[in-house]
Amino acid sequence: MLSPYGLDIIESCLTCKTRSEHLFCDLPAAALQTFEGIKYATAYPKGAVLFVEGQAPRGIFVLCKGRVKMSICATDGKTLIVKIAEPGEVLGLSATVSGKPYELTAETVDPCQVNFVKREDFLRFLKEHSDACFKVAEQLSEKYNNACHEVRALGLSHSAGEKLARLLLEWSSKNGEAIKQEPRLKLALTHEEIAQMIGTSRETVTRLFADLKKKQIIQTKGSTLLIRNKSALKLIAANN
Amino acid sequence: MTAITVFQPMMLYSEGMESAVPRGPLSYVERPERLFSELSPDTLQAFNAIKSVSSCARGTVLFHEGQPARGIFILCEGRARLCVCSESGKRMILRVAGPGEILGLSAVLAGSHHEITAELLENAQVAVIKRKDLLQFLHEHREACLQVVNLLSQDLHVAYDRVRSLGLARTRRPRAPRPQ
From A156, A182, A212, the end of a domain falls on A156
Reported as a single tens digit per residue, the pLDDT across B66-109 is 999 999 999 998 999 998 887 777 788 888 899 989 999 999 98
**Average pLDDT over chain A, rounded to an integer:** 87
Residues in chain A, how many?
Answer: 240
Together in a domain, A101 and A186: no
Distances (CA, A) of A228 to A66, A164, A175, A190, A195: 29, 15, 17, 21, 22
| One domain for residues A47 and A125 | yes
Among A130, A156, A182, the domain boundary falls at A156
- Check: pTM over 0.90? Answer yes or no: no
Domain B32-162, CATH among 3.40.50.300, 2.60.120.10, 1.10.606.20, 2.60.120.260: 2.60.120.10
- Which residues of B fall within a CB distance of 8 Å from A104? 160
Ranges of residues in chain B with a pLDDT under 70 are 1-38, 168-180
- Specify whether A126 is located in the same domain as A193: no
| CB < 8 Å to A201, chain B | 172
Chain A residue numbers with beta carbons less than 8 Å from the beta carbon of B26 are 100
Q: Give the 3-state secondary structure of residue A121.
A: helix
Closest CB from A103, A141, A238 relative to B88: A238
B interface test, pick of A119, A148, A233, A240 with most B CB neighbours within 10 Å: A148
Helix or strand run (H / E) with residue B154: helix B143-169
Closest by Cβ to B159, choosing from A136, A144, A160 = A144
> Residue A15 burial by CB count (10 A; 0-12/13-18/19+): exposed, middle or buried?
exposed
| Domain that residue A196 falls in | 160-237
CA atoms of A168 and A26, how far apart (whole Å)? 31
In a shared domain, residues A116 and A188 = no
Look up the CATH number of the domain holding residue A206. Answer: 1.10.10.10
Same domain, yes or no: A116 and A183: no
Final residue belonging to a domain, choices A156, A179, A198: A156
Q: What is the ipTM of this complex?
A: 0.77
Q: Which residues of chain A have pLDDT under 50?
A: none
Residue of B5, B156, B172 with shortest CB distance to A140: B156
Residues A194 and A151 in one domain: no
Which of A90, A239, A53, A82 shows the shortest CA–CA distance to A149?
A82
pLDDT digits (tens, 9 = 90+) for A60-111: 999 999 999 999 887 667 788 888 999 999 999 999 999 999 999 999 998 9
Total domain count, chain A? 2
